[in-house]
Amino acid sequence: MSQPTPPPTSLPESDDALRLEDYFRDGAAPADALLWWQLERQEPLQAALRALFQGDARVTKLRLWVFLELMALRDARLTRDALNQAFHVLRDEVLDSVLKRLREAELLAWDATAQTYAVTPLAQQLVGLLQPLTADATDQDADLAALLAGVAGAHQLGLLQPAQLQHLLAQLARLREEFADAMASGSEFQLRRARQRFERALTLVDRAGEALKAIIEQAQTHGDARLERLARELGGAQASLLAMASQFNRALQQADRQRVTLGSTGVTTTDVRRWLQAVPQLDALAAGLVSVGLQPVMVAAQELVDGAEAEFERDRPVAAAPEGLPAAVAAPLGELAVMSLPPEMGLMQLLLNGWAEAGHTEQPVAPAVLGGSYARAAYRAQLLPLLGDEQARHLQGATGDMARQPWRVRWAAEQGEVTDEFVRWMSQGALIKETP
């Protein structure tokens, strides 16, 4: 009997002896996570990205340049002579190597009969992901502009996904935190730099405001609760960003009040600070001044003494006298209402115990979940993550008994039809019994 592969102590670049499940604590990938399930369905796109970015940085830049230039060519069918003419600056063996890599990644299709190349749909999908590489690197708001453009464009085409709204919400939250830190710093220069970026972000969000309103109305019309919730949260984030405009004005006014004019010259402390920031070596300004002794001088001594006397003589508030504890009062009678758990948890434990007594080590998920109604099936499906939960196994009662069961659920990415009165389609999976 072979021994199981020990879990890795580090994350190696490539190790064929390790499985993907070995990187997780429970020995199984999080198939119940929506993002993980979506990544599993995009395996060809991930393979194409690995084919482009694998290897040395110089070779990666060369592959990206050839791929993006190739996608910009307008011919549907490309002969080798046309490619040689388009990439005449490359050596033949280098171009052959890059084209071979693109064919292996299924980004280029070779027609042996016509002796031509053709761009695949996978390449057209990949070029959309690589568009930020050709954007202006000096634009600090390129990330927000790309997210807003993606949300507005996907809405117009009817291809909007909740993940796009989640990414936009996260970016707006990070921007709001960045602007709040700038206002809390009290630095005039940091405030003015943040104010410029804030105004650009506000302009971008305002331009996409019509699209956001249309997304909320469409979600209400089609009854998409998740999309409607995310759209409303996006509207709240937009309103919170708009409310920061007045806070910026107050912070800048506070900085203006702290600015001091030096005599009658018209030079302010802000001008002095800008000049000091432009000086290459600040220590050179103090050359020959360190050895000069400074004598402290007390100014307006009489006024200081008068202020101290008034402080000592002013009336102080009288401290409150201590009060005794109130008299004892009998506690009113009450009732302790204990909420009973639904019977589904106990029935599921009876089913799992029956499978264990019968000697079964693996059973499909469907018999443990389905039955009764859709609401009961959904409740049973939510009980499955309790199996093997490290925090819940120390609890007393039905929840702890459920967590101490030797069974573990393992969902699969595949879905299919089931024979049930209330559920017709569900994810496939299995309940596996762990050995002690």
The reply to whether 250 and 355 lie within a common domain is: no
Task: Judge whether 425 lies within some domain.
Answer: yes
pLDDT at 391: 80
pLDDT at 60: 83
pTM score of the predicted model: 0.43
Whether the Cβ atoms of residue 380 and residue 348 lie closer than 8 Å to each other: yes
Angle between helix axes 57-71 and 43-53 (nearest 10 degrees) is 120
The reply to whether 164 and 210 lie within a common domain is: yes
Instruction: Give the span between the Cα atoms of 54 and 51, in whole angstroms.
Output: 6
Total domain count, the chain = 3
- Select from 134, 158, 175 the last residue of a domain: 134
The reply to whether 111 and 195 lie within a common domain is: no
Task: Judge whether 206 lies within some domain.
Answer: yes
Whether the Cβ atoms of residue 183 and residue 251 lie closer than 8 Å to each other: yes
Task: Judge whether 245 lies within some domain.
Answer: yes
The reply to whether 148 and 226 lie within a common domain is: yes
Closest among 38, 48, 19, 210 to 124, alpha carbons compared: 48
Q: Which long-range contacts (CB under 8 A, 24 or more apart) does 264-268 make?
A: none
Whether the Cβ atoms of residue 220 and residue 235 lie closer than 8 Å to each other: no
- Select from 223, 258, 293 the last residue of a domain: 258
Task: Judge whether 252 lies within some domain.
Answer: yes
The reply to whether 109 and 150 lie within a common domain is: no
Whether the Cβ atoms of residue 122 and residue 108 lie closer than 8 Å to each other: no
Query: Could you tell me which residues come within 8 angstroms of residue 178 by beta carbon, excluding any fewer than 6 positions away?
Result: 194
The reply to whether 165 and 249 lie within a common domain is: yes
Task: Judge whether 415 lies within some domain.
Answer: yes
Instruction: Give the span between the Cα atoms of 292 and 301, in whole angstroms.
Output: 26
Whether the Cβ atoms of residue 8 and residue 23 lie closer than 8 Å to each other: yes
Show the tokens assigned to 138: 């000096």
How does pLDDT run across 3-59, given as a tens digit for each residue?
445 544 445 555 555 677 777 777 776 766 767 777 777 788 788 888 888 888 888
- Select from 134, 157, 179 the last residue of a domain: 134
How does pLDDT run across 388-435, given as a tens digit for each residue?
888 877 877 778 888 888 888 888 888 888 888 888 888 888 888 877
pLDDT at 8: 47
Reported residue count of the chain is 436
The reply to whether 188 and 233 lie within a common domain is: yes
The reply to whether 85 and 164 lie within a common domain is: no
Instruction: Give the span between the Cα atoms of 250 and 183, in whole angstroms.
Output: 9
Which residues of the chain register pLDDT less than 70?
A: 1-18, 29, 31-32, 34, 132, 135-143, 154-159, 207-209, 216, 219-224, 256-267, 269, 283, 286-301, 303, 316, 334, 336-341, 436
pLDDT at 2: 44
Domain of 239 in residue numbering reads as: 142-258
The reply to whether 129 and 148 lie within a common domain is: no
pLDDT at 1: 43
What Cα–Cα distance (Å) separates residue 123 from each residue in 118, 130, 207, 388?
A: 10, 10, 31, 43
214-248: b (≥16 Cβ within 10 Å) or e: ebbebbeeeebeebbebbebbeebbeebeebeeeb
**DSSP assignment letter at 360:** -
